[in-house]
A and B are shown apart, each in its own frame.
Chain A
Amino acid sequence: MQSQIFSAPTVPTKGAISIRDVTKIYDPDGAQVMAVDHCSMEIAPGEVCMIVGPSGCGKTTLLNAIAGFHSITEGEILLDGVPLCGPKHPLASQASDRIVVFQNGALFPWKTLAENVAYGPMVQRRWPKAECIERARAALKEAGLGNVADKYPGEVSSGMARRAEIVRALINEPKVLLLDEPYRAMDALTKQIMHEALLEMYDRTKVTIYFITHDLEEAIFLGDKVYVMTTRPCRVKKVIDIDLPRPRDYTTLTSEAFRLLVKEADEAVHEEALKAFQAGEREMA
């Protein structure tokens, strides 16, 4: 089915993120907490990049740096070759080419789902206001949320709200979608439905995805690459290429290849989790 709202080139060309030697130290004049230590990553356009690591390891710090919520101390981050932040401008500007989907959800509770989705295009003046709302409705309908378009976020299930939030991001045609453990609080069954829906939206848009999670199976099921991070300070410990064929569905979860990948990742993650546990880090993320 060819999407009316989201369309993408067959080979994605936009949305390459280069993280080069990035270091982040919180409170440089005082406690000097090193969150990220000379971390480098190259994320290709349209890649689904899953970041796995122990709690409080600094995965969210990197996301915040890309999105422009926090500055970095050293190194630089580039989007399609253009520096977002670096030595001269430690704080990236916030813009709709990189949109975040938040851990606890950040749909505006005072706007209906349709108004929420229309918000981005409206403030960017992409289309006249009426058209923004119309397109928002169409996009929600396409994501299976047509009937709740006029409900407030407080009236729908968390799964619907989270999906609407992804629609709200994608309608702006971002280059990068940044997800910070969006399905953390969901039960396993809902999660699976959310995963399939996300994959479908991804197949339509081929947007670059930076996805933080604790859940290894989630990471391998969704990702092209899984980055296993060390405990704080955060570095890349291991990169696992996920060569499972797309499109993937729930049958992928029981395949032998999937199980082997989980095992491989599990060993790397377990070691870091143990280190983090022994260091007695308070859960931060």
Chain B
Amino acid sequence: MSVIAHDVYAGDRTPARRQQPTGFGMALHRAKKGLRSPTPYLMVFGIAVWLFAYWLLCEGLSLPRFEKIPGPVTILSDWISANPQQGTSIYTPDYYQHIYVSCRRILIAFVLATALGVPLGLLMGWSAKVKDYTFPLFETLRPIPIMAWVPLAILMFAGYETPVIFLATLASFFATTLNTMLGVQSIDESYFRAAGCLGSRKRDVFWHVVVPGAMPFIFTGLQISIGVAWFSLVAAEMVSGDFGLGYLILSSYVNSVTVPMVIGMLTLGFVGWFSSAIVRFVGNRLMQWHVKALAMQGR
């Protein structure tokens, strides 16, 4: 009798779809699928080619200007040696101290910048008034390179720790705030109108439209901001610091030990990558709707 009852779209009576694999089965399925595609082989091959070129330049041929730079073999053998010739390896406690100090600073800076930047960005995007108050100042301060803040930071804050954290926070804060604001502005007007029709108060619009609607931009911003935080942290550690990966790199250079310098750089690369991956992971967890919609589009 009901028209809808024999509707081709009605999902109620369609038989259960093929069971989706979950957990370990899913991981296995993905791994198998991955190994059948050319991607992993191309990646391994690509890394090998670059490493070989690097080795050739520094160790194989020892071209002029390159002979002072430690090659991949020298670095790796020192990195994993229990008695490193130049003092830094995975067996020396100092190495972990540097990583720990940098990571702790990043964590503090990132949390501070997010806690300040996201709410400010949301308000700036949502309320024209807040934007009028803040945007001119914000846009004047944002282009100032972080290095230009170093003297001021050292004058303002005592010790080694606070100036460094301040600089990383500042850089990260600007990226987060701007992206959050743009995220709110990117929300389609019809969602606000729909919310209005359905009887929302301002508060409801904020929590149910503004915040979730800006979320994809916020997480893009957070990925940028954690990258910027690392960048400015290392710059700050080079100027003012007693520990940290930036300090390791610069002090190695000053003491003419080039291997720990490169080890510090590579470590930064891996730790930075890892931190971005965590932000991405949390973002995807929080935005299942976004992930699923993209998956439906085949992305």
Point out residues on A near B: beta carbons under 8 Å.
1, 67-69, 94-96, 98-100, 102, 104, 106-112, 119-120, 123-124, 141, 143-148, 152-155, 157, 159-160, 163, 168-169, 172, 193, 196-197, 199-200, 249
Contacts and interface: CB of A to CB of B under 8 A. Distances in A.
A119 B208 contact: yes
Contact of B198 (A110, A120, A159, A160): A120
B39 interface: no
Interface stretch (B29-37, B100-108, B209-217, B242-250): B209-217
Given A108-B208, A108-B209, 20 more contacts: A68-B196, A96-B198, A106-B188, A106-B193, A106-B194, A108-B212, A110-B215, A111-B212, A120-B199, A143-B4, A144-B7, A144-B10, A144-B12, A145-B10, A147-B11, A154-B292, A163-B9, A197-B4, A200-B2, A249-B3
Contact of A157 (B3, B5, B9, B288): B9
Contacts of A95: 197, 199
Contacts of B10: 144-145, 147
Interface in B158-204: 188, 190-191, 193-201, 204
B2 A100 contact: no
A141 B12 CA distance: 8
Contacts of B188: 106
How many chain B residues sit at the interface, stated as a range, is: 35 or more
Nearest to A160: B9
B215 A124 contact: no
Interface string B267-299: 000000000000000000001111011101000
Contacts of A107: 194
B9 A159 contact: yes
B11 A199 contact: no
Q: 3 smallest A-B Cβ distances: which pairs? A: A154-B293, A147-B11, A144-B10
B19 interface: no
A125 to B, nearest CB: 9
Contacts of A147: 10-12, 14
Interface of B: 1-5, 7-12, 14, 188, 190-191, 193-201, 204, 208-209, 212-213, 215, 287-290, 292-294, 296
B239 to A, nearest CB: 43
Given A152-B289, A154-B293, A199-B3, A106 B191 contact: yes
Contacts of B4: 143-144, 196-197, 200
Nearest to A105: B190
Contacts of B194: 100, 102, 106-108
B198 A154 contact: no
17 contacts: A69-B193, A94-B196, A94-B197, A95-B197, A108-B213, A110-B290, A123-B200, A144-B4, A144-B11, A145-B10, A147-B11, A154-B290, A154-B292, A154-B294, A159-B9, A169-B197, A197-B3
Given A1-B2, A108-B191, A154-B289, A148 B11 contact: yes
Nearest to A174: B197
Contacts of B287: 110
Nearest to A199: B3
Given A154-B289, A154-B296, A155-B292, A123 B204 contact: yes
Which interface residue of B11, B12, B195, B296 has the most chain A CB atoms within 10 A? Answer: B11
Nearest to A168: B198
The residue among B9, B197, B208, B209 with the most chain A CB atoms within 10 A of its own CB is: B197
A26 to B, nearest CB: 16
Contacts of A69: 193, 196
A1 B5 CA distance: 12
B193 A100 contact: yes
Query: Which of A106, A153, A155, A193 has the largest number of chain B CB atoms within 10 A?
Result: A106
Contact of B293 (A109, A157, A159, A168): A109
Nearest to B289: A152
Nearest to B211: A110
A110 B292 contact: no
A51 B212 CA distance: 35
Chain A CB within 10 Å, residue with most, of B2, B199, B212, B213: B199
A32 B215 CA distance: 39
A196 B209 CA distance: 32
B186 to A, nearest CB: 13
A67 B11 CA distance: 32
Contacts of A145: 10-11
Contacts of B11: 144-148, 160
A102 B193 contact: yes
B215 to A, nearest CB: 7
Contacts of B2: 1, 200
A249 B213 CA distance: 39
Contacts of B195: 119
B293 A123 contact: no
B198 A146 contact: no
A147 B12 CA distance: 5
